[in-house]
Amino acid sequence: MRGRSARLPTLVAAIAIALALTSSPVRAAAFNDSDVARLAELNEVLQSFEDDVGVAIHHLPRDDAEQIESYSYVKLNLEAAHERLNNVFMLLAVSLYMAEQSDQQLILNIMHSQVLPRSKNFLDEKKDAIASMALAHPSNNVFETYSERAADVLGTRAISLLDAFDEKIGSPKQ
């Protein structure tokens, strides 16, 4: 719960900025409201996954430090991935409603050259870290399920979405 409540102000701020800026008449050509909705939906799926792991942690025996540590490792990796996607969400939302074309272009350049490539690598690392728990605990089917779920949410869905965003940006003008 602590990780979720710590991220809540960031998510609320991102949504507030996006909503506050919706009255701006100029929009960046690269993204639209559908992109924001797709990323928000992915964040909801990731939050559900985090919540499921958190519930599992609370049902572990208090004296099983190894299991608690392993489940917590999965949860921390999910939280880190979620935080990274929230950062992308914030940039995407802001890029939609920048008043100046030069400001829009600056955000798109940063997203294309730095944020999206690094985020894809980061999400891939988090997916692999979660998969490592399945390898470390072959007799625990829950970790195999978490590994498969992380491969889907982080590997297939999130990275594909970031690839699509990167493709939409293309090669921004300098």
pLDDT of residue 5: 57
pLDDT of residue 9: 64
CB neighbourhood size of 165 (10 A): 24
pLDDT 10s digit of each residue in the chain, 174 long? 455 555 666 665 555 555 544 444 333 457 899 999 999 999 999 999 999 999 999 999 999 999 999 999 999 999 999 999 999 999 999 888 888 888 889 999 999 999 999 999 999 999 999 999 999 999 999 999 999 999 999 999 999 999 999 999 986 554
> Which alpha helices (DSSP H) does the chain contain, by range?
2-20, 33-58, 65-96, 101-110, 116-136, 141-150, 159-169
Q: Residue ranges of the domains in the chain?
A: 2-20+28-169
pLDDT of residue 98: 84
Q: In terms of Cα–Cα distance, which of 132, 34, 26 is closest to 76?
A: 132
Sign of torsion, CA 155 157 162 167?
positive
pLDDT of residue 173: 52
For residue 69, give Cα distances in angstroms to 60, 75, 157: 11, 10, 27
pLDDT of residue 121: 98
Instruction: State how far the Cα of 103 lies from the Cα of 114, in Å rounded to an integer.
Output: 16
Q: In terms of Cα–Cα distance, which of 111, 115, 81, 78 is closest to 95?
A: 111
Instruction: State how far the Cα of 78 lies from the Cα of 149, in Å rounded to an integer.
Output: 11
Tokens, residue 121: 């690598």
pTM: 0.81
